[in-house]
Amino acid sequence: MADPDLDFTTAESGASATFPMQCSALRKNGHVVLKNRPCKIVEMSTSKTGKHGHAKVNLVGIDIFTNKKYEDMCPSTHNMDVPNIKRQDYQVVNITEGFMSLMNDSGDVREDLRVPDNDIGKEIESKFEAGEDFMVTVICAMGEECAIATKMMTSGK
Amino acid sequence: MMAALGAAEVITQLESAAKVLMAPPSMVSSEQRQQAEHVFLSFRKSKSPFAVCKHILETSKVDYVLFQAATALMEAAVREWILLEKSSIESLRAFLLTYVLQRPNLQKYVREQILLAVAVIVKRGSLDKSISCKSVLHEVGQLISSGNPAAQTLACSILTALLSEFSSSSKTSSIGLSMEFHGSCKRLFQEDALRQVFVMTMEVLQEFSRRENLSAHMSSVFQRWLALANQVLSWNFLPPNLGRHYIAMFEATQNVNLKPTESWREALLDTRVMDLFFTVHRKIREDSDMSQDSLQCLAQLASMHGPVFPDESAQVSYLAHLVEGLLGMINGIEIEDSEAVGISNIISNLISMFPRSTLTALPSELFSSFINCLTLLTCSFGRSAALEEVLDKDDMVYMEAYERLLESWLTLVQDEQHFPRGCFVQPAVQVFNSYIQCHLAAPDGTRNMSANGVASHDEEEINELQEDDRELFSDQLCSIGMMGRVAADHCIPLLTSLLEERVTRLHGQLQRTQQHLLASSDPGSVDRKVLDDLYEDIHWLILVSGYVLADDPQGETPLIPSEVMEFSIKHSTEVDINTTLQILGSPGEKASSIPGFNRTDSVIRLLSAVLRISEVESRATRASLTELLSPQMGKDIVWFLRRWAKTYLLLDEKLYEQISMPLSTAFGADTEGSRWIVGYLLEKVMSNLSAWSSESELANETVELLVTLVEKRERANLVVQCEGWWSLAKQFANRSPPLHLLSSTVQRSLMKALVLGGFAHMDSDTKQQYWAEVLHPLQQRFLNLINQENFAALSQEEAVKQEIVATLEALCGIAEATQIDNVAQLFSFLMDFLSSCIGLMEVYSNTPETVNLIIEVFVEVAHKQICYLGETKSMKLYEACLTLLQVYSKNNQCRRRGDASAEEDQYQDLLLIMELLTNLLSKEFIDFSDTDEVFRSQDQGASAPRSVSAADVVLYGVNIVLPLMSQDLLKFPSLCNQYYKLITFICEIFPEKIPQLPEELFKSLMFSLELGMTSMSSEISQLCLEALSPLAEHCAKSPDKDTPLCMATQHFLKLVFDMLLLQKHNTEMTVAAGEALYSLVCLHQAEYSELVQSLLATQRDAVIYQRLSDAFRQLSASSSPPTMDRKQKLAFLKSLEEFVANVGGLLCVK
């Protein structure tokens, strides 16, 4: 990051699942790993022990896959792991036996992702059955992936 | 329902319902309970229940039923007042009073309710003069003279009920009468009846105070009368000719001062009145409940002012008598805990209410005894307050009393010029010393020491919501700071020496701890107690020093306090300026090691002492001892430096009558001293930002110091000459460590500071170079990134996301730096980014946190800049915002998210969008740009045709927001408020745009208004009502009466009509609803007549019909035919109020 002419094109290969960040630099709405799960930070506050104590950060996060709530507290000087989060939109081309066939911008198709077992999953199935052209947003973090949103295909894009 | 039943059946039904209500929760089902409640509710609404109620009162044995009967009587009497014969009202009142008299054993709550009914009847009767207070008071007088304690208690209860009923207008809605009616009742009462009550009360108290050995029973009667006396003296005397709005405002004030009318002169200036209260207090002071009342009575007497005093000498002798009485009361007693607050109230009232000339006209001996007494009391309360803190008491009575006295001191010393010269110096020294003593640890002070001299020390968990001491105790610190200035000769050197001594101790302690750490590998073995004690001492010393040396006026240029300036001038002949500068310039050395150290300017020396503390801190961080330091102390240091810099750095000699040579030599413009200190402060900022990135509050205050240094041009000119500034700028622009660890708010403020610095005076080359180093890298990096061919593919890479977030944060910071003289440049710079940001909206459409931040950038730019922008520039911004909203809408329309934070994210987006729209609308009423002057050089001749207006953008935005505003989202209060504020704004500013809206949008807007009017909080209901008038007025202007808007307003006419006339509503809404009704009536006169006719048609009772139709006639008489004319509107509103008072109650009856 120190190099202003950093070439971002090389960032893709070898990207690790998480990277460390000083606790105080985390932000609400950002992400953090709590109890080994990738979470979205929904609450962040600080406290200290005694008037002259050092700050501790209290975090409340929601697991981005399971919606479970986790809490943690740590000294604000410590590093926390932040998950690399990727969101990608795919066109749904087929559904067979609970698996989606998804096509990305460049026309590559993958078939390894299940229809999630929740409201969005039902939405995906009913849209597909109705023959609609639509996209799904797939979120990916720490080796896990899941479809979290649907979007109508827009003509321009 | 009730009418059909005989009285006996009614009683049976009510009694069994009461049984259900009184039963334990496990015995009855909730349906049974609801049913029983319903029985009582409909009973209370029944028509003319007088006979039944009397019968119940006489026969039923169930208290709760008696209570309900009394309530029903009271409500019916008010509701059906105009239908009742005056004689039957009078007999009803007499019945109730006799009833209570004859039944001494009634339950208290039943008796009070019946007396309340009496009071309400008396008050309602005073409107048409059908009932006079005199007869009631006469009966009360007889009760008192009976000498029977039960009768006397009853007498007191009757008076108490009368007083509470007449004292306020806030109960308006409960009896449905206008504020003006309440006001005139109150005025009438306070001139005559109230004084009679007062005289009676004095007689009773006199009687009691003479008796020895009161029995417990008598003593409780005594207590009631004392409370009544307090109620009389706390009467909020209503001045004549106060309008309705003011009455409400007037009555909302809490601490009521005694300001009786002239007619009270004889009653209150009689010295026996005051003496009586001193005597009473002496008698009962050990009873903590009663002494509250007696002291409060005295405090009210101490607040007396106004026409009651015939002339100044009367006021002086009144005050002298009061002060003598007070000193006599306090001297020679040990004050009870329960007396502290009361006594401080007496003192605080007399100091704030009596004119200075009256205070100084006191005999000088009396005045100085008073000041002495006040000094001793203040110090003693201060010590007791410190004890309370150690014991962690819930009820901090001494703290409250202490604060009140400190406040009184502040009032006194601020008016010092009125008093004999120097008369507050000694008291100030004592109060100041005792404050310092209470806040320092042993051996210098007594902090944390309980009464037996044992020090306690505990570490509690403190969360971020807890206020910092400097805010929590700002009032105290303000007073102590002022006292410190009054006695500057003593206090400033004292603070300096206490601080300097602690510099040495802190330095030594840190060294010892470091050695200890080197020897032992376990950092847990460090005893922090000694360090924490030192930190706490330094914490308070710095706070007090900051408050002594400078003020912090919001938005004004703070001046060096005149006392401090005079103090420095007075000693300037004894001062060696070079030594002073040497001590200032060597924060790393011990002050006493510099030859001639005692010939320095004390004001500069105090700053130097804080700099020495700061230096110890900085060195410790360099020695990796940050862990051992106190972030709190770090905050205190930068807080002090910031406060100091605002006042002293580059002081402007033109602003002072006289100037101290040492101060102007050290900190004036173009001095070595000011250059040095700016350099030092920058170094401090850098050191803090790298050592304390993890302490967000400290980092925040550090950047605020930086902002302070550059927000004024003169200081900024000096700052940009410093090496340190440039390296900070470069580091930040390169996002190199450690600045990138800072939290986002700190980064924003840092960006703001760097931009502000760029507008300092520099030669053009330097300036160009500066911008090339600060702003251009930001732009360059951003453009390089987004212009990559495969940017869309890379956009989810973590490094890319971070870069984007950092850029967006920086843009917010740049917008925050906007000032009138830089807006031209910053706007052009930011505009380039805004269009790229819209591209980002597409790329990151599935990344909510980024979308949110992008909208925030627009919000900030609109917020900070729109008011300065001329037409062309505004247009550009409107267009950009419009595109942003279009993209947002497109991306979210056919999108469904299933994740947990979906709703929260959407809520945040919508809130920002509405904020953006409101900011854009604000251009309509805050506009500094009438000539486009700031842009003249760039905008020559460019007057493009107006393509987009604020209204278009805002309505388009509303179009996006509306479909997304689900009822669920409206449950977020802040969102709901912002939404209704926005739509009311729109209706008020652009009523002409409303009919042009697309059909769907128009419908949902109207639906929103209806929803807001009928089923939201009263605040929102009021907003919606306010939106109706402009809409109706707009319709009235247009010839076409078939428009959808016109139809909609017709619907609203019915809604408002029902709301005002048929439903019980909040009286504060009557005005908004009345205005809306009037505009709607003007527009739809025929429909209004229909509404009236159909309402009348439902009335079966001929008398009610007649009353109603008369009332409606009177209502429209003042404005017929109704037109949109202000005068007529006001007349209508006035009649409406009478209308509601007269028949409102009738219509509410089912």
**Residues of B in Cβ contact (< 8 Å) with A52:** 528, 531-532, 535-536, 539, 630-633
**CB of B1002 closer than 8 Å to CB of B1044:** yes
pLDDT at B104: 81
Residues 6+ apart with CB under 8 A from B1028: B987, B1009, B1049, B1052, B1056, B1076, B1079, B1080
Distance of CA B950 to the CA centre of its chain: 33
Tokens of B114: 């019946």
- Phi and psi dihedrals of A58, rounded to 5? -105, 125
Q: Closest residue of B to A137, CA-based?
A: B846
pLDDT at residue B1147, as a whole number: 64
Which pLDDT does position B1038 carry in this prediction? 79
Question: B781 contacts in A (CB within 8 Å)?
Answer: 4
pLDDT of B1130 reads: 85
Using DSSP's 3-state secondary structure scheme, residue B822 falls into coil
B471–chain A Cβ distance below 8 A for any pair: no
The CA distance from A41 to the nearest CA of chain B, in Å, is 10
Segment B859-863 mean pLDDT? 94
What pLDDT sits at residue B603?
97
Q: Which residues of B touch A155 (CB under 8 A)?
A: none
Rounded average pLDDT over B1126-1134 = 84
Rounded to the nearest 5°, which phi and psi values hold at B1120? -125, 125
Cβ B118 vs Cβ B96: under 8 Å: yes
DSSP annotation of B1100 reads -
State the smallest CA–CA distance between residue B233 and chain A in angstroms. Answer: 45
Q: What amino acid occupies position B647?
A: T
Residue from B895, B794, B790, B808 nearest B846 by CA: B895
Report chain A residues whose CB lies below 8 A from the CB of B633: 52
| Mutation target vs B (from A3, A6, A8; most B CBs, 10 A cutoff) | A8
In which residue are the tokens 């087929």 written?
A: A94
Nearest CB neighbour to B463, from listed A11, A45, A64 = A45
Q: Is the pLDDT of residue A14 over 60?
A: no
Q: Measuring CA to CA, which residue among B630, B431, B444 is closest to residue B529?
A: B630
Q: How confident is the model at residue B85 (pLDDT cuts 50, 70, 90)?
A: confident
* Token pair for B913: 């969008």
Q: Which residues of B touch A30 (CB under 8 A)?
A: 849
Question: pLDDT tens digit string along B862-890?
Answer: 999 998 888 888 889 998 998 999 899 88
Give the SS3 label for residue B777: helix
Q: What is the pLDDT of residue B937?
A: 45
**Res B248: pLDDT:** 58
Percent pLDDT > 70 in chain B is 93
In whole angstroms, give the CA distance from residue B1091 to residue B81.
Answer: 25
DSSP alpha helix (H) spans, B176-270: 179-191, 193-210, 216-233, 244-252, 265-269
Q: What is the pLDDT of residue A10?
A: 39
Render the burial of B568-581: b for 16+ CB within 10 Å, e for the rest: beebeeebbbebbb
The answer to whether the Cβ–Cβ distance between A52 and B463 falls below 8 Å is no
What confidence tens digit (pLDDT) does each residue in B1004-1052 have? 889 889 988 888 888 888 899 999 989 998 888 877 777 888 889 999 9
Q: Rounded to the nearest 10 degrees, how much is the dihedral formed by the CA atoms of B650, B655, B658, B663? A: -10
CA-to-CA separations, B1018 to B813, B988, B1052, B1080, in angstroms, rounded: 38, 19, 17, 20
- pLDDT attached to residue A8: 43
Antiparallel, parallel or unpaired: β A86-96 and A99-103: antiparallel
Task: Write down how long chain A is.
Answer: 157
CA B986/CA B849 separation, integer angstroms: 29
Task: Specify the 3-state DSSP secondary structure of A132.
Answer: coil
Residue B217 has pLDDT above 90, yes or no: no
Which residues in chain B are closer than 8 Å to A85, comparing Cβ atoms? 796, 798
Most B CBs within 10 A among A52, A63, A142, hence the mutation to make, goes to A52
Q: What percent of chain B has pLDDT over 90?
A: 45
Rounded Cα gap, residues B489 and B496, in angstroms: 12
Please, what is the Cα angle at B643 between B638 and B648, to 5 degrees? 120
Closest residue in B to A11 (Cα) is B797
Mean pLDDT of B328-354: 93
Tokens of A6: 């950093």
Could B797 and A15 be called an inter-chain contact, meaning their C-beta atoms sit closer than 8 Å? yes
Q: Provide the pLDDT confidence category of residue B982 given band limits of 50, 70 and 90.
A: confident
The pLDDT of residue B464:
82
Q: Measure the CA–CA gap between B297 and B573, rounded to whole angstroms.
A: 54
Question: What pLDDT does residue A106 have?
Answer: 85
Verify whether the Cβ–Cβ distance B899 to A149 is below 8 Å. yes
DSSP B1118: T
Contacts of A47 in chain B (CB under 8 A): 461-464
Confidence of residue B743 (pLDDT cuts 50, 70, 90): confident
Beta-bridge mates of residue A100: A95, A113
**Poorest-pLDDT segment among A34-38, B322-326, B999-1003, B1121-1125:** B1121-1125
Whether the per-residue pLDDT at B933 is higher than 50: the answer is no
> Tokens at residue B434, please?
């005792």
Confidence of residue B299 (pLDDT cuts 50, 70, 90): very high
The answer to whether the CB atoms of B796 and A86 lie below 8 A apart is yes
pLDDT surpassing 50 at residue B658: yes
Q: What is the mean pLDDT of residues B328-351?
A: 93
Predicted local confidence at residue B895, as pLDDT: 79
Of B694, B742, B908, the CB nearest to A77: B694
**If pLDDT is split at 50, 70 and 90, which confidence band does A157 have?**
very low
Tokens matching residue B1034 = 């707009």
Which residues, 6+ apart, have CB-to-CB distance to B1004 below 8 Å?
B962, B963
Token pair listed for B866? 């729109």
Handedness of CA B1111, B1116, B1118, B1120 (dihedral sign): negative
Q: What value does the mean pLDDT take over residues B923-927?
A: 69
Which of B447, B509, B796, B908 should one mutate to test binding to chain A, selecting the residue with the greatest count of A CBs within 10 A? Answer: B796
Strands A79-83 and A86-96: unpaired
Q: Helix or strand or coil: residue B720?
A: coil
DSSP state of B308: T
Better-predicted residue by pLDDT, B1043 or B300: B300
A43 strand-pairing partners: A60
Determine the pLDDT at residue B383: 94
Copy the structure tokens of residue B123: 């008050």
Strand pairing report for A134-141 and A86-96 = antiparallel
Q: Which residues of B touch A17 (CB under 8 A)?
A: none
Which residues 13-72 on chain A approach chain B with CB closer than 8 angstroms? 15, 19, 22-25, 27, 29-30, 40, 42, 45-55, 62, 64, 67
CA A123 to each of CA A63, A134, A140, A152, B386: distance values in angstroms, whole numbers, following the listed order: 21, 11, 20, 12, 64
State the pairing for strand pair B895-897/A56-63.
Answer: unpaired
Compute CA distances B156 → B140, B197, B201, whole Å: 8, 10, 9
CB contact at 8 A, B68 and B59: no
| B799–A157 CB contact, under 8 Å | no
Contact A4 B897 (CB under 8 A): no
* pLDDT exceeds 70 at position B106: yes
Inter-chain contact B896–A149, Cβ cutoff 8 Å? yes
Q: Helices then strands (H, E): number in chain A?
A: 1, 11
Backbone angles phi, psi at B925, to 5 degrees: -125, -15
pLDDT at A5: 42
Quick check: helix, strand or coil at residue B190? helix
Q: Residues A125, A153: contact at Cβ < 8 Å?
A: no
Mean pLDDT of B713-734: 91
Q: Supply the pLDDT for residue B528.
A: 84
Pairing of strands A56-63, A86-96: unpaired
Is B250 a residue whose pLDDT tops 90? no
Closest to A133 measured CA to CA, from A104, A92, A97, A75: A92
Among the ranges given (A145-149, B307-311, B542-546, B1064-1068), the one the predictor scored with the smallest mean pLDDT: B1064-1068
Mean pLDDT (whole number) for A18-27: 90
Q: What's the mean per-residue pLDDT of chain B?
A: 87
Between chains, do B781 and A4 touch, taking CB under 8 Å as contact? Answer: yes
Distance CA B318, CA B1124 (A): 56
Using an 8 Å CB-CB cutoff, list chain B residues near A40.
900-901
Kindly report, residue by residue over A53-112, the tens digit of the pLDDT: 999 999 999 999 998 999 999 999 999 999 999 999 999 999 999 999 999 888 899 999
Identify which has the larger pLDDT, B1139 or B715.
B715
- Across B53-62, B68-77, B166-175, least confident range: B166-175
Are residues B671 and B584 in contact, defined by beta-carbon separation less than 8 angstroms? no
Q: Which of these, B560, B564, B548, B612, lies nearest to B584 by C-alpha position? A: B612
Quick check: B696 and A76 CB within 8 A? yes
User: Does the structure show a pLDDT above 80 at A156?
Assistant: no
Helix (H, G, I), strand (E, B) or coil at A75: strand
Reported as half-sphere exposure (CB side, CA atoms, 13 A), residue B1015 has a value of 7
Mean pLDDT of B1108-1137: 81
Where does the pLDDT of residue B631 fall: very low under 50, low under 70, confident under 90, or very high at 90 and above?
very high
Gap between the Cα atoms of B781 and B791, Å rounded: 13
- Scanning every residue of chain A, which has its alpha carbon at the shortest distance from the alpha carbon of B635? A52
> In angstroms, how far is CA B696 from the centroid of its own chain?
26
Query: Does B847 touch chain A if contact means CB atoms closer than 8 Å?
Result: yes
Q: What is the pLDDT of residue B556?
A: 79
Contact B852, B819 (CB under 8 A): no
